[in-house]
Amino acid sequence: MRRAATTACLLALLCLAACNRDAPPADAAPAADTTPAPWANDPSARRIEADVRALADDAMEGREAGTRGYTMASDHVGKRFAAIGLQPAGDDGTFFQRVPLLKSTLERDGARLTVTRNGRSIALRFQDQFLPLPGFNAAQAEVEAPAVFVGQAVYAPALGVDDFKGLDLEGRIAVLFGGAPARFDNDRRAFHSSYREKLREVAERGAVGVVFVNTPQDEAGWPWAQRAANWVRPAMRLRGDDGKGIDTFPQLRVAATVSAAAADLVFADGAQTAAQLFDAAEAGTLRGFALPGTISLGSRSVIEPIESRNVVARLPGGDAALAGEHVVYSAHLDHIGIEPPGEGDRINNGALDNALGVAIMLETARQLSAAKERPRRSQLFVATTAEEKGLLGAEWFATHPTVPAGSMVANINMDMPVLMAPTTDVVPIGVEHSTLQAVLETAAKEIGVELSPDPFPEESVFVRSDQYAFIRAGVPAVYLSGGVVPADKDGGRDPKVALRYFLRNCYHRPCDDANTQPIQYGDAARMARLNARIGQLVGEAPERPRWNDGDFFGGMFAK
């Protein structure tokens, strides 16, 4: 699962973990279990375990997009697709779809943020107080201009919000907070919180630079120290045929983020203090205003074109009339690679995130391929790249599919199912948006698994994994996550506590390792059976899934 703040204010579940930092149960590692695994004789569970161990092996070097380790992992998945008996569905008769990328690595030299106001200049300290976002349009960029505070940069007139009303951004630097008004429902708040939407809004109004100012609430979920420590990691964007980045907003010459602790320096001598603005954001009374003086921004990045690839396979449908339509399964194959030089284990193996999701998808494909009768519609399996960099592989596939774009009828996505304690349920995130809900309910009843509601709906995880790329292409989707109801209610491990432990201690860290995490492969096998049954039901249905009447995402993106 990604944490890239360049496309959304991310990672809901991590917020939950950070906000419960004092909860004693979460500080203790899951208790060792010496009893034989209940899935020891389940071939499905053992196949999933074998794939997880292969993909999360140190030899894969953390599977960062565009690296040797990722290529090795994609070779493994391609070979598994072939062994299952699926057809290649990538480029030129292969299992692989080329994904062109731009990679940008920020450099310390040239990074600058200076506020000039009332005869004085305030220079913020790189890493301690601010960080430029890696550039994709010029290796070195500078801008100095008057600044305008634009609240949360939300334009939603239908909801009575226009943060730009009465403000002139032409040739100016936009200063803004993340997020969206708390009174918005979860879906609209998620959409308007997206960094991409905010950058688009300010660019369309003529801004030449942008400064995101963190609030204390932002840093409760992702502390500045953690973010600042990762500034050396490269960022990526999709690359167009012209060699330029896609959705990189070249008119915004420099973008930067400021820590909550340094916010007063940005608003110094202005109409309101940072604390007053933070309170107004919480109260829903935030209003924009022109800031006195100017802000000067500078950044330097190393920009280079690279390539990665999605792995795509197809199981043809059994009905001539419907085989041209596709149920699309997705799971991201990439992870975050190797830590900077230092002591100890440096390989981020990504066993749960997301070798497990890919392994479940592979087992789903095997079961569908081995079935006596194939579904009438074809089934498509996509292991995506660069999810951790902003859903890039999924977005490339959704906008450049290797099958006709109008043929994709539904997306079933699997990302980081934290199966660390036995459960009786799964959580189908976003299922309420479309007629897929009835399909999920039928499939779950047949498989014998409960469906639990999203335990954290306010975090809008529905827009934070690869399914969102398909949603933006108008395809109804569901994101299947691990369960929250313990299988053993009398002293067994609590899956919520296990989740909290993982997010606090091992998410995006080397200990997300198949050798140390108590992965419940029996639950994983059950999830594969559920996935396969969902595909069969959608594949056999006389009508495609459709967005519910009046649904926000359907109204926004349905073709």
3-state secondary structure at position 230:
coil
pLDDT of residue 25: 39
Query: What is the set of domains in the chain, with CATH numbers?
Result: 39-101+307-557 (3.40.630.10), 104-303 (3.50.30.30)
pLDDT of residue 18: 33
Distance (Å, whole) CA 152 – CA 179:
6
Q: Which residue has the tokens 């960062």?
A: 64
Which pair of tokens denotes residue 260? Answer: 């909550």
List the one residue out of 459, 517, 557 whose CA is nearest residue 179: 459
CA atoms within 13 A of residue 456's CA, in its CB half-sphere = 19
Distance (Å, whole) CA 109 – CA 301:
9
Please say whether the beta carbons of 133 and 257 come within 8 A.
Answer: yes
pLDDT of residue 10: 32
* Rg of the chain over all Cα atoms, to the nearest angstrom: 23
Could you give the angle at the alpha carbon of 402 between the alpha carbons of 399 and 406, nearest 5°?
60
Q: For the segment 522-559, what is each residue's pLDDT rounded down to a tens digit?
A: 999 999 999 999 999 999 999 999 999 999 999 999 97
pLDDT of residue 40: 73
DSSP 484-537: -SBS-TTTPPPHHHHHHHHHHHTTTSTT--TTTS---HHHHHHHHHHHHHHHHH
pLDDT of residue 460: 76
Question: Strand runs (DSSP E) across 316-424, as ranges?
Answer: 326-332, 378-384, 408-414
Which pair of tokens denotes residue 246? Answer: 């896609």
- Which residues lie below 8 Å from residue 459, measured CB to CB, with a gap of 6+? 12, 13, 15, 16
pLDDT of residue 2: 59
pLDDT of residue 35: 55
Q: For the segment 435-464, what is each residue's pLDDT rounded down to a tens digit?
A: 999 999 999 999 999 999 988 787 778 888
Positions in the chain whose pLDDT score sits under 50: 3-28, 32, 34
State how far Cα 553 lies from the chain centre.
Answer: 17
